[in-house]
Amino acid sequence: MYGKKYKDNTGARGVPRSAHNHALTSAISHMQLGIILNDNKLFRKAFKNYEHTIRYQRKNGSLPIEVRRGGRAMFYQGRAMSALSVIAIIAENQGYNIWEYDHKGKGKNFHNLIKFFLDFAENNEIVFKYAKEMKAPGPAKDYKNQDLKVKNSSNWGWLYAYATRFPNHENIKRIQEWANADNLNTYQIGFLYHHKNIGKTKFNDASWTVVEANCHFLRQLN
């Protein structure tokens, strides 16, 4: 299933299903099992999911599969980013740095995904042209009102991993600048809340929380 590409006439046409947030979550399980079994081939299967997701992002950093989902477009963009973070953390702990992977050196990287989220926070209308497709939006039927619950790890778990690894990146500095700004919107306030409470926040949806993998998988693969 995950090796196929979307063929329907949608915003995700031509994108591999391996870049879907569900596939990314499955990839995390492959990595964990690969470590337990000392199976490097199984472990590295997740790298393809990571590469596909980064490769098939749009130039603006939006993920075609996720941002077409109505009022939960950014919810699923965030969920995919959280899964990518877990993959990168587990890989990091086994001696692989994939955080900085940049497809063909053209700016398609994890930083660019963050930038899109920040751009959205400042101007939420940038996602409307994708979200109006209303592909499986769940209960969020209004694509102009993005469902980003402040205390839900599905949306924000990636920020912890990113901010602790790239504290001086321009994306993080941009968030910090909002702290001194007036008239912030709901999405900017959400960013500030999580950045301020990194390592302190108790999420309501623990199964999607980004957890530092070195708590569990210390042994280097052969």
Please give the Cα distance from 211 to 215 (Å, whole number). 8
Q: Which one, of 85, 90, 76, 29, lies nearest residue 54 by Cα?
A: 85
Report the pLDDT averaged over residues 147-166: 82
pLDDT at site 185: 94
Angstrom distances, CA of residue 17 to CA of 40, 147, 149: 23, 24, 26
In which band, very low, low, confident or very high, does the pLDDT at 217 lie, cut at 50, 70 and 90?
A: very low
pLDDT at site 153: 62
Report the pLDDT averaged over residues 18-23: 94
pLDDT at site 95: 93
Report the pLDDT averaged over residues 137-161: 84
Q: Does residue 214 have a pLDDT over 70?
A: no
Using the CB atoms, write b or e for 9-21: b if 16+ within 10 Å: eebbeebbbbbbb
pLDDT at site 10: 85
pLDDT at site 201: 52
Q: What is the pTM of this model?
A: 0.90
In which band, very low, low, confident or very high, does the pLDDT at 83 lie, cut at 50, 70 and 90?
A: very high
Domains identified in the chain and CATH numbers = 17-215 (1.50.10.100)
End-to-end CA distance of the chain: 30
pLDDT at site 2: 60
pLDDT per position as a tens digit, 21-74? 999 999 999 998 999 999 999 999 999 999 999 999 999 999 999 999 999 999
Please give the Cα distance from 203 to 37 (Å, whole number). 31
For CA atoms 62, 68, 71, 76, give the dihedral sign. negative
pLDDT at site 149: 75
Judge contact between 84 and 21, C-beta under 8 A: no
pLDDT per position as a tens digit, 90-147? 999 999 999 999 999 999 999 999 999 999 999 999 999 999 999 999 889 999 999 9
Judge contact between 85 and 31, C-beta under 8 A: no
Tokens standing for 201? 């926040």
Tokens standing for 12? 């995700």
Q: Which one, of 117, 112, 213, 102, lies nearest residue 156 by Cα?
A: 117
In which band, very low, low, confident or very high, does the pLDDT at 166 lie, cut at 50, 70 and 90?
A: very high
Tokens standing for 178? 């909002």
Please give the Cα distance from 169 to 159 (Å, whole number). 12
Residue 156 CA, chain-centre distance (Å), reads 9
